[in-house]
Amino acid sequence: MTQITRLILLPAIIGGLLGLGVIFIAGSEDARPGYAGAVSRAAPAVVNIYSTKITRRGEICRIPAYRAFCDAFPTEAQVQNSLGSGVIVREDGYVLTNKHVIDQADEILVMFANNQTTTAQVIGADAHTDLAVIKVNASGLPVIPKLDGDVPRVGDVALAIGNPFGFGHSVSQGIISAFSRSLITASPYDDFIQTDAAVSPGNSGGALVDHEGRLLGINTMIFSQSGGSDGIGFAIPADIALWVVDEIVRDGRVIRGWLGVGLQPFQTPEGAVALRVLRVTRGGPAHLAGLQRGDFVLSVNQVQANSIATITGVIADIRPGDAIDVEVMRGEQRFRARAVAGELPDPV
């Protein structure tokens, strides 16, 4: 091959091959910018939920002075409708949603991504995480993909799929803004993912997924001063949500251990972190074990009490009836108290 041939022909051949490659890639659907692939994998496992509650007595009838009047002139039945979303987590018909979506519903209607509808029954609910499991009479359903060990990061893409305002399947895109958001509700088990993907009324119970359509969490609430999406939405992490599913399917409810104390973080005079006992439930496990208001909890079952979240999790994992070993400091005295775990009651 002559020098001129090498200088002219080889670049032309290479350029032609590169051009064909670009044309092939440009014509490939997977190379298009966006997250259509993620949506196609996740959306079939997201359902719309419509619940109906029938009320027969007005609020005034709850006042004792008006009960006789209401009994003499019964009010007409009133129908209250609510909407939300859900995520299919098992192919045999188990659907995960928020408790507030189906709370006290007389009828629950589930609409699948293919617009087919069916009724559902409540299997159980967990007030502490605002999660519920319902079941439809179906099998072979598409199940939401799981993370399979991958750890999501702040800044990763997040897609919210649900039924905002009852419009049907909709997708909004944002990022993961933060993890482990707590003190959002009165529950000691708050551990939310924060996202700026638009989450609106009706998205509750729907899926927050990553760029591959894998479940990050269950959308549950928004922080808003306007009533609409202000870019701060909260989702229950997938690992917590799926654990709740397993508990409810097995036992019909979530069973957590209970010590019966209110705790507050505090730094001891020695500089150590401890949890100060603010209140002790009379007759509860801590009260029976001798704990008092003003004590400091240093550890529970040999786990250092360096945060309320840590100790709350340790106690929750203890089965009712099992022993709880509590290291306590009272004044300058340190001692160990042995309590018998109770079962955490539902919040009032």
Give every CB contact of residue 11 below 8 A, 6+ residues apart in sequence.
none
DSSP structure string for 163-200: -GGG--SEEEEEEEEEEEE-SSSS-TT--EEEE-S---
pLDDT tens profile 251-304: 999 999 999 999 998 876 677 778 999 999 999 999 999 999 999 999 999 999
What b/e readout covers 233-258, taking b as 16+ CB neighbours within 10 angstroms? bbbbbbebbbebbebbeeeebbebbb
Confidence at residue 169, expressed as pLDDT on a 0 to 100 scale: 85
Confidence at residue 24, expressed as pLDDT on a 0 to 100 scale: 45
Active site residue 204: yes
Domain extent listing, the chain? 40-136, 157-250, 257-343
Question: Which residue from 76, 70, 71, 77 is spatially nearest to 52, judged by alpha carbons?
Answer: 77
The whole-model pTM stands at 0.80
Confidence at residue 22, expressed as pLDDT on a 0 to 100 scale: 43
Confidence at residue 231, expressed as pLDDT on a 0 to 100 scale: 80
Q: Do 157-250 and 257-343 fold alike per CATH?
A: no
Residue among 51, 82, 85, 100 flagged as catalytic = 100
CATH of domain 157-250: 2.40.10.10
Distances from the Cα of 194 to the Cα of 18, 154, 160, 177, 188, angstroms: 43, 9, 12, 5, 17
Q: How many Cα atoms within 13 Å fall on the side-chain side of residue 80?
A: 12
Active site residue 103: no
Residue among 85, 177, 200, 204 flagged as catalytic = 204
What count of other Cβ atoms lies within 10 Å of the Cβ of residue 61?
Answer: 16
Q: How far apart are CA 135 and CA 90, in angstroms?
A: 10
3-state secondary structure of 270: coil
Query: 59, 65 in Cβ contact below 8 A?
Result: no
Question: How is domain 40-136 classified at the CATH fold level?
Answer: Thrombin, subunit H (2.40.10)
Confidence at residue 166, expressed as pLDDT on a 0 to 100 scale: 80
Active site residue 211: no
Residue among 85, 126, 130, 210 flagged as catalytic = 130
Where the chain has pLDDT below 70, the residues are 1-31, 55-80, 225-229, 268-269, 348
Question: How is domain 257-343 classified at the CATH fold level?
Answer: Pdz3 Domain (2.30.42)
